[in-house]
Amino acid sequence: MTMLRRSWVPSANRADTPFPLNNLPCGVFSTAGSEPRCGVAIGDMILDLAAVEEAGHIDLTDDRLFDVPFWNEVMEAGPPVWGALRDRLTALLSEGAAGAELLHPHLVPQSDATMHLPFLVSEFTDFYAGKHHATNVGKMFRGAENALPPNWLHMPIGYNGRASTVVVSGTDIIRPNGQTRTPDAEMPTFGPSARLDFELELGAVVGVANAMGTPVTVQEADDMIFGYVLLNDWSARDLQAWEYQPLGPFQAKAFATSISPWIVTKAALEPFRTGTPAREKDLLPYLREPGPMLYDIDLTVRMAPRAGPFTTIAQTNYNRMYYSSAQQLAHHASSGCAMTVGDLLGSGTISGPDPLERGSLLELTWGGQRPLRLDGGEARSFLADGDTLTLEGSAIGDGYRIGFGTCTGTVLPAKPVRRL
Active site residues: 133
Please check whether residue 258 is in contact with residue 173, taking contact to mean a CB–CB distance below 8 angstroms. yes
Alpha-carbon span 191 to 417, nearest angstrom: 7
Question: How distant, in Å, are the alpha carbons of 95, 96, 101 from that of 9?
Answer: 8, 10, 11
Pairing of strands 257-259, 114-116: unpaired
For residue 365, what are the contacts with CB-CB under 8 A and spacing of at least 6? Answer: 371, 372, 380, 381, 382
Please check whether residue 257 is in contact with residue 168, taking contact to mean a CB–CB distance below 8 angstroms. no
Q: CB atoms < 10 A from the CB of 65, how many?
A: 21
Written as one letter, the residue type at 172 is D
* First vs last C-alpha separation in the chain: 63
Please check whether residue 43 is in contact with residue 91, taking contact to mean a CB–CB distance below 8 angstroms. no
For residue 224, what are the contacts with CB-CB under 8 A and spacing of at least 6? Answer: 206, 207, 208, 209, 210, 216, 329, 339
Give phi and psi for 271, each to the nearest 5: -65, -10
Sign of CA dihedral 362, 365, 366, 370: negative
Alpha-carbon span 394 to 392, nearest angstrom: 7
SS3 label, residue 16: coil
DSSP 123-189: -EEEE---HHHHHHHHHHHH-GGGSS-TTTTTS--EEE--GGGEEETT--EEPPEEEE--TT-SS-E
SS3 label, residue 108: strand
Question: How distant, in Å, are the alpha carbons of 28, 78, 150, 302 from that of 110?
Answer: 11, 28, 48, 22
Sheet order of strands, 114-116 included: 107-109, 45-48, 37-42, 26-30, 114-116
Distance of CA 219 to the CA centre of its chain: 21
269's enclosing H/E stretch is: helix 266-269
